[in-house]
Structure 1
Amino acid sequence: MPGVPDISPQETWEALRNDPDATLVDVRTDAEWNFVGLPDLSEAGKQPVLIPWQLYPSMQVNGAFTEHLRKAGLTPASKVYFICRSGARSLAAGQAAQAAGFPHAYNVADGFEGPVDTEGHRGQIAGWKASGLPWRQR
């Protein structure tokens, strides 16, 4: 298995806008979706698919994750871009998806908020928000 490639937020956005088979799966928790915000894909005519990789508050891995991908209508032909806060959970989710028969899994590099800056804040250096891509509060 070749592994899950890291794709920049900008390349992800272009794929979502131009490829009807491209889907963004946000694997963060309900709390993150509610309090941090979500990618806004309305300009691409899409919505992010919200499936947590870990369940809040225990942060136990979601044992039904790949089943939820199928229930969301994703197939082996789908190009699935996984995003989390900074790129770690989404990489694990992409690996699980590949192992479950979704060969076109991609990790959005630096996630939604990216790494912390010198002041300890996220969303400024890299990632979806820092790249100036559309997002909204829930």
Structure 2
Amino acid sequence: MTAPIEPRPAQGYAGDLTPQQAWDLLAAEPGAVLVDVRTEGEWRTIGVPDVASLDKATVFTQWVTGDGRPNPGFLAELEAAGVPTDQPVVFLCRSGQRSIGAARLATSAGYGPAYNVLEGFEGPVGPFGARDQAGWKVRELPHTAYAEPTR
């Protein structure tokens, strides 16, 4: 039996998870969903988390658009993607900052528990300007190139 996943406490959402805790939660909870809230440009150029080995698909919806504007359709896109309101929802961005806002908004709209992934997909900028110190990719969690969704 695995140890329970204990998120770091947070205000306005269920809490913060390390990338490994997020993976473990997604693996342990059949209804849990991973939502990548980075921009389409980030998905295309940096790659995306791969949860296929868990028989899941990542939901892609931008928290902000490529020009930095808030995505007014964010909640509608979660609903359209079939994100359940009564299951864990794990939000991921580049460094774990934008996904806090997404987790808070989702919580206020009745989703959840909603979590933020600390460190995000790439983590913060390191001492030499690269994002190679932390994050989903550095922790060697599954990731792949972005594939255009089929319509």
TM-score after normalising by structure 1 = 0.93
Q: Distance in 2 between matches of 1:52 and 1:86?
A: 14
> Does residue 128 in structure 1 map to residue 136 in structure 2?
yes
Corresponding residue to 1:88 among 97, 103, 122: 97
Alpha-carbon displacement from aligned partner over 1:9-57 (angstroms, at most 9, x marks no partner): 001111111211110000001100000000011111111100000011x
Specify every segment of 5 or more residues in structure 2 that has no aligned partner in the other structure, as ranges: 1-9, 147-151
Match of 2:118 in 1: 109
Q: Distance in 2 between matches of 1:83 and 1:21?
A: 17
Q: Which amino acid aligns with 2:51?
A: L
TM-score after normalising by structure 2 = 0.86
Where has structure 1 moved over 6 Å in runs of 4 or more? none
Match of 2:45 in 1: 35
Q: Which amino acid aligns with 1:73?
A: G
Q: Secondary structure at the match of 1:54?
A: coil
> Does residue 25 in structure 1 map to residue 10 in structure 2?
no
Name the stretch that deviates more: 71-80 or 103-112: 71-80
Q: Distance in 1 between matches of 2:23 and 2:92?
A: 12
Percent identity over paired residues: 42
> Does residue 79 in structure 1 map to residue 88 in structure 2?
yes
